[in-house]
Copies of this chain bind each other. A is one copy, B any other.
């Protein structure tokens, strides 16, 4: 392992790890990956993304305009603080096997109802205007979680459209859970 090269402690399926992998790919930062089968709660990985943004500003993941930056952060916090923490593994375990699917679906649909309305006023090609931002890094992994929990995405045309556009980008593909070193064989693509 090269001295000074950043190490990402990553879990293939974790939406938090995936967000960071997209940021690293977009900024072209070379790193070692240390797969760990342990998922930390919450949106703490946004701190890594903000750190990357400040120390490697190109390409930027936050728009220059303060109001647009606030929109990006509002969307990111809605997903990383308002949706993901309610449907992560440790919470689902507490909820009990019987109620897991309904619980996760409720958390995601109530968050997506708010998100769809917000995106209708902020989105261009991506979540906020036509530049890929931190909000997009949060969106794609959350939509993948929604699909895993069989959430009907028909009521969310804006979310679905942006997700599809983003998944066509290289940085979102190389960072995808189906292409990680710790992805089990049956989930590889």
A78 interface hit (Cβ, 8 Å): yes
Specify which of B43, B86, B103 is in contact with A43 (CB 8 Å cutoff).
B43
Question: Chain B interface: which of A66-74, A144-152, A162-170, A181-189?
Answer: A66-74
Contact check, B82 vs A54: say whether CB atoms are below 8 A apart.
Answer: no
Specify which of B41, B50, B69 is in contact with A51 (CB 8 Å cutoff).
B69
Specify which of B50, B55, B70 is in contact with A48 (CB 8 Å cutoff).
B70
Interfacial chain B residues near A42, Cβ < 8 Å: 77-78, 81-83, 85
Specify which of B66, B76, B82 is in contact with A85 (CB 8 Å cutoff).
B82
A84 to B70, CA, bound (A): 21
Task: Count copies of this chain in the complex.
Answer: 2
Specify which of B66, B69, B77, B91 is in contact with A44 (CB 8 Å cutoff).
B77
Interface residues in A, total, Cβ within 8 A: 35
Contact check, A47 vs B66: say whether CB atoms are below 8 A apart.
Answer: no
Interface residues of A (CB under 8 A from B): 41-44, 46-48, 50-51, 54-55, 66-67, 69-71, 73-74, 76-78, 80-86, 90-91, 94, 103, 106, 110-111
Q: A43-B80, A48-B70 are in contact. List 11 more A-B contacts (CB 8 A).
A: A42-B78, A42-B82, A44-B78, A46-B81, A47-B76, A50-B69, A55-B66, A77-B81, A81-B84, A85-B85, A94-B106
12 CB < 8 A contacts A-B: A42-B83, A43-B80, A43-B82, A44-B77, A47-B70, A47-B71, A47-B74, A50-B69, A51-B69, A55-B66, A81-B84, A85-B86
